[in-house]
Amino acid sequence: MQNLPIKERFAVPVSEVPYERNDWKKGYESQPNEYDYWIEDIEGEIPADLKGTLFRNGPGLLEVNGQRIHHPFDGDGMISAIAFNDGRAHFQNRFVRTEGYLKEQQAGKILYRGVFGTQKPGGWLANAFDVQLKNIANTNIIYWGDKLLALWEAAEPHRLDPKTLETLGKDYLDGVLESGSAFAAHPRIDPCCEQNGGEPVLVNFAIKPGLSTTISIYEFDQAGKLLRSHARSVPGFAFIHDFAITPNYCIFFQNPVSFNPIPFVLGVRGAGECVKFQANKPTLIVVIPRNSQEPVQILETQSGFVFHHANAFEQDGKICIDSICYESFPEVEPNSDFRQVDFDAIAPGQLWRFTLDLTEQSVQRQLLENRCCEFPFVHPKHAGRPYRYLFMGAAHRESGNAPLQAILKLDVTTGEEQLWSAAPQGFISEPIFIPRPNASQEDDGWVLTLVYNAGYHRSDVVILDGRDLNQGPVARLHLKHHIPYGLHGSWTPNVF
Ligand code: CO
């Protein structure tokens, strides 16, 4: 079983595939327009006590004036904001006016190379030795310290006006970052940090790659003021997109990949296409104490690739970390079209629990969910703590790799599951769980997700009841247009 090629182990007969490729592909059409309106076309009812703003980020343009970008990760960041108040909802979207977006829109052509293989026209000669990348601000969006920040991991955040989504410029977090500094797109919020008097703290990191990798850790209070920062060096190249926290640790997976920059510098490949998976090497788990006086520990586990972690917690002297793990890195090929991807040739992401014993320096791993899944989300008060319920995007079918069409709720203590699927023509985005005010149960709240529906080529904001996904949406808010498949977002109780 273990040695069969991915295609034979996970493939699903074509007749049973619950979606049409052409439907799925349409969700990658650009959305060049910017809207601002009250949502009127609603099925069901918006819960009266759902109050706040859902912010989403993701590539809004998949081309520049008809010149296609090579990979969606290279698309210009577009922010959507859906504000809920008194049973009503308002929609707004704006592109982040990055320097690159403005210059390319003005020129009407691609001027920058993308990390994931987008090249300027003119072949390798036009691209050789141009290592300047565009800060595309397309990965996540957070509201913290009275600032709305669009994040892209390789450079500084862009600040936006939360009411109008107007771009205010690059933000250096009150002098914490320098020009061009990296700042990851996956901050974590410690809901009650002991070192901050039990108040919430935003923890984030920045990667400086090289022969050895520097990982900087930053912790900010609710006003956005830096509380602590420290930088640690780990051996080797690291491609790290996300991390997990517990009250005492930051945990990183150093996936077994190598980086050969020569084809990138010579202009024949994007930087992301120079990352090669090393199946014969272990994944390294880097455990960095949040207390800067304590040493870093590095543990080994079986080879695999992780983009996203669901959660981590400390229990019985051990650290548990739940992560979506792929058997290998889905490499980006230079002469391929992502719309033609062979899902069966790529291993699905699956949820694993890694249990770290720092005393014994050992790692145990256990499969928690076999179904293809991504974009895990837990109750915000349980971040870094023991938890029971996990919400994730998932494939419609139990086996095989496929686009995300369903929202899966997993009880990690019993293995019990609930599922709501938007198949055959619906394709979901990251689910965000919002606790109901004064709720006492961990799953008492709403799950919000954007669903692209190929049947009418528009997107819906879908609201599910976290206690029972099986019953289907509480409300479905039909937007007047589609939103291309996005990446990450967040919720704030502030109504903008
Ligand atoms: Co991510």
DSSP per-residue codes, 391-436? EEEE-SSSSS-----EEEEEETTT--EEEEE-TTTEEE---EEEEP
Distance, in Å, from the CA atom of 186 to the CA atom of 298, rounded to the nearest integer, reads 21
Distance, in Å, from the CA atom of 64 to the CA atom of 158, rounded to the nearest integer, reads 21
The boundaries of the domain holding residue 386 are 21-141+249-255+281-492
CA of 44 to the centre of ligand 1 (A): 31
CA of 36 to the centre of ligand 1 (A): 27
CA of 140 to the centre of ligand 1 (A): 8
Residue 14 lies in a domain: no
CA of 13 to the centre of ligand 1 (A): 30
C-beta of residue 387 within 8 angstroms of C-beta of residue 393 = no
Distance, in Å, from the CA atom of 238 to the CA atom of 56, rounded to the nearest integer, reads 27
Residue 208 lies in a domain: no
CA of 141 to the centre of ligand 1 (A): 11
CA of 186 to the centre of ligand 1 (A): 6
Residue 337 lies in a domain: yes
Is the bond into 18 cis (omega within 30 degrees of 0)?
A: no
CA of 375 to the centre of ligand 1 (A): 7
CA of 488 to the centre of ligand 1 (A): 6
| DSSP strand pairing (283-289 vs 275-277) | unpaired
Residue 426 lies in a domain: yes
Q: Could you list the pLDDT tens digit for every one of the 496 residues in the chain? A: 455 677 777 776 666 789 999 999 999 999 999 999 999 999 999 999 999 999 999 999 999 989 988 888 889 999 999 999 999 999 999 999 999 999 999 999 999 988 777 777 777 666 666 667 789 999 999 999 999 999 999 999 999 999 999 999 999 999 999 998 999 999 999 999 999 999 999 999 999 988 899 999 999 999 999 999 999 999 998 889 999 999 999 999 999 888 877 777 777 677 777 788 888 899 999 999 999 999 999 999 999 999 999 999 999 999 999 999 998 876 666 667 888 888 888 889 999 999 999 999 999 999 999 999 999 999 999 999 999 999 999 999 999 899 999 999 999 999 999 999 999 999 999 999 999 999 999 999 999 999 999 999 999 999 999 999 999 999 999 999 999 999 999 999 999 9
Token representation of residue 215:
């990982």
CA of 178 to the centre of ligand 1 (A): 23
State how many domains the chain has: 1
C-beta of residue 139 within 8 angstroms of C-beta of residue 151 = yes
CA of 394 to the centre of ligand 1 (A): 15
CA of 41 to the centre of ligand 1 (A): 31
